[in-house]
Amino acid sequence: MRYADFKIGTKLGSAFALLLVVTLALGGIALMQLERMHQAMQTMGSSALPSVSEAGNIRSQWNRFRRLESHLLPTQSEQSAQALVQQVQSVRTSIGQSEKNYEALPHSEEEMQLMRAYLQHRDTYLASHQKFTTAAQDLHRNNSDDPASLQSLQHMYDEAETSFAALAETVGKLSSLTQRDAQTLRQDSESLRASAVWWVAAGMGLSALLATIFAIIVTRSVSRPANLAVEAATQIANGDLTHTIPPAGKDEMGVLMAALEQMRGNLNQVVQRVRHNAESVATASEEISSGTTDLSSRTEEQASALQQTAASMEQLSSTVRQNADSAQQANQLALNASQVAAQGGDVVGEVVENMRTITSSSRKISDIIGVIDSIAFQTNILALNAAVEAARAGEQGRGFAVVASEVRSLAQRSAEAAKEIKQLITHSVDSVTAGTALVDRAGTTMQDVVSSIRRVTDLVGEISAASTEQSQGVSQVGEAITQMDTATQQNAALVEESAAAAESLKRQAQELVQAVSHFRTTGTAQASRSLSAHPAPMPRTAARPAVPMPRKPTPTPATNPRIAASSKAPVQPPSAKGSDDDWETF
3-class DSSP state of 159: helix
Residues 313-331 pLDDT 10s: 777 777 777 777 777 777 7
Q: Are 578 and 498 in contact (CB under 8 A)?
A: yes
Q: Is residue 23 part of a domain?
A: yes
Phi, psi of 240 (to 5 degrees): -90, 105
Q: Are residues 273 and 193 part of one domain? A: no
Q: Is residue 170 part of a domain?
A: yes
Q: Are residues 303 and 155 part of one domain? A: no
Q: Are 225 and 248 in contact (CB under 8 A)?
A: yes
> What is the percent of the chain with per-residue pLDDT over 70, rounded to a whole number?
70
Closest CA to 275 of 20, 38, 526: 526
Mean pLDDT of 46-75: 68
Closest CA to 478 of 549, 571, 559: 549
Q: Is residue 390 part of a domain?
A: yes
Largest CA distance in the chain: 198
Give strand pairing partners of 240: 520
CA distance linking residue 298 with residue 292, whole number of Å: 10
Q: Are 142 and 83 in contact (CB under 8 A)?
A: no
Q: What is the CA angle 457-461-463, rounded to 5?
A: 120
Q: Is residue 577 part of a domain?
A: no
Number of separate domains in the chain: 2
Q: Are residues 277 and 224 part of one domain? A: no
pLDDT level of residue 549 (50, 70, 90 thresholds): very low
Q: What is the CA angle 271-274-280, rounded to 5?
A: 150
Which domain does 158 fall in, by range? 3-231
pLDDT level of residue 536 (50, 70, 90 thresholds): very low
pLDDT over threshold 70, residue 7: no
Q: Which has the higher per-residue pLDDT, 531 or 273? A: 273
Residues 223-237 pLDDT 10s: 777 777 777 778 777
pLDDT at 532: 42
Helix axes 398-516, 252-393, angle to 10 degrees: 170
Residues 119-150 pLDDT 10s: 788 888 888 777 877 777 777 666 656 666 66
216-230, 372-386, 531-545: the lowest-pLDDT one: 531-545
Q: Which has the higher per-residue pLDDT, 576 or 251? A: 251
Q: Are residues 262 and 199 part of one domain? A: no
Number of CB atoms found within 10 A of residue 530's CB: 10
Amino acid at 282: A
Q: Are residues 259 and 225 part of one domain? A: no
3-class DSSP state of 520: strand
Q: What is the CA angle 102-103-109, rounded to 5?
A: 105
Q: Are residues 376 and 227 part of one domain? A: no
Q: What is the CA angle 243-247-249, rounded to 5?
A: 160
25-29, 158-162, 337-341, 568-572: the lowest-pLDDT one: 568-572
pLDDT over threshold 60, residue 275: yes
Q: How many CA atoms lie within 13 A of 127 on its CB side?
A: 7
Closest CA to 153 of 167, 137, 141: 137
Q: Are residues 314 and 213 part of one domain? A: no
pLDDT over threshold 80, residue 102: no
Q: Are residues 284 and 143 part of one domain? A: no
Which residues lie below 8 Å from residue 297, measured CB to CB, with a gap of 6+? 541
String of DSSP letters for 415-430: HHHHHHHHHHHHHHHH
pLDDT level of residue 466 (50, 70, 90 thresholds): confident
> What is the percent of the chain with per-residue pLDDT over 90, rounded to a whole number?
0
Q: Is residue 240 part of a domain?
A: no
Closest CA to 537 of 284, 274, 277: 284
Q: Residue 354: which CATH number?
A: 1.10.287.950
pLDDT level of residue 561 (50, 70, 90 thresholds): very low
Residues 371-380 pLDDT 10s: 877 787 888 7
Q: Are residues 33 and 174 part of one domain? A: yes
Closest CA to 381 of 407, 401, 400, 403: 407
pLDDT at 538: 43
The whole-angstrom distance between residue 501's C-alpha and the CA centroid of its chain comes to: 49
Q: Is residue 167 part of a domain?
A: yes
Q: Are residues 272 and 207 part of one domain? A: no
pLDDT over threshold 80, residue 6: no
pLDDT at 585: 37
Amino acid at 212: T
Q: Which has the higher per-residue pLDDT, 135 or 42? A: 135
Phi, psi of 390 (to 5 degrees): -65, -35
pLDDT at 462: 77
Q: Is residue 573 part of a domain?
A: no
103-107, 150-154, 307-311, 545-549: the lowest-pLDDT one: 545-549
Which residues lie below 8 Å from residue 531, measured CB to CB, with a gap of 6+? 279, 282, 506, 509, 510, 513
Q: Are residues 311 and 195 part of one domain? A: no
Q: Are residues 215 and 312 part of one domain? A: no
Which residues lie below 8 Å from residue 301, measured CB to CB, with a gap of 6+? 560, 562, 563, 565, 566
Q: Is residue 247 part of a domain?
A: no
